[in-house]
Amino acid sequence: MLGFLSKVDLSGDLVNILGGLGFFAVCIATAYTIWLYAKQDGGSTAPLTEENWDGIREYKNEVPVGWFSVFFLLTIWGLWYFLIGYPTNAYSQIGEYNDETSRHNAKFEAKYANADEATLKAMGESVYLANCSSCHGQTGDGMNGKAKDFAEWGNEKGIMNTVKKGSKGLNFPMGEMPAGLVDDASAKKVATFILDLSGAKKGDVAVVAEGKAVFDANCASCHGADAKGNNDMAPNLSLYGTPKFAAEIVLPRGKKGMIGIMPSFDKAGTLNKTQYKAVATYINAEISSKN
């Protein structure tokens, strides 16, 4: 019956030691209380309560010493365990799992630190299907407006759509970008400038210059004159249209969307940096760039 004890490593584990002692204390106190009641002759000299239920009345007995002792001690132990013992103890199953996950992620990132684009795309597809497709759809179409349509991301259409409709949910200190800052023609020039700046798509020199002028007048106050986000006060647009934008900005921060909140994968801890890069590469190469 107690064979499980041979499998428990109590050495240096304060929580398990106290848990084991508590187990035996409860067993002893329970046995003692049963023994006290077993030796009673069935009678009682305690007075009866005033209330009765169909002629049945209860004795005004004192709380059994054994029961009260166990209750009191377990309450004290429970408070210690939840407030001090568990949070500060060196070992826990959750901590062990987190340590193993961290070690695995470190090995994973080291192994794929210099992965080529083909490897990243293959890895990114499986990461996307497991973590993103439930909202964005298997083809990245956003499932009829339920989430971001990746066909409109990372390209001219995506920038124009953002400039016209505004941008929300990334929780940068500068706040949310309002809609309708410039007209369609100016938005197109800004898009040409941004994509040329990030290296995602080379633009006509004259149009790029015009787009920069529009950007300086309407966007630089938040994003900075170099479009790099004004010391992380706003998104770094010099990365837009490249995998780095999703890998370094969107996935770590999360985003409030139309059907809910995409979690911060940094806080969730479900993906590592290499997987960020992989899924961003997959989206750029297999979805947005083909539209």
Q: Among 283, 281, 280, 254, which Cα is nearest to 266's? A: 254
pLDDT above 90 for 1: no
61 CB contacts (<8 Å, ≥6 apart)? Answer: 44, 46
How far is residue 229's CA from residue 220's CA, in Å, rounded to a whole number? 9
pLDDT tens, residue by residue, 162-173 = 888 888 888 899
Q: Indicate the SS3 state at residue 256.
A: strand
In the chain, where are the structural domains located?
A: 10-91, 116-290
Going by their DSSP bridges, the two strands 255-256 and 261-262 should be labelled as antiparallel
- 3-class DSSP state of 192: helix
189 SS3 class: helix
- Start-to-end CA distance of the chain, whole Å, equals 66
Residues 229 and 223 sit within 8 Å (Cβ to Cβ) = yes
The whole-number average pLDDT for the span 265-289 is 86
Q: pTM for this structure?
A: 0.63
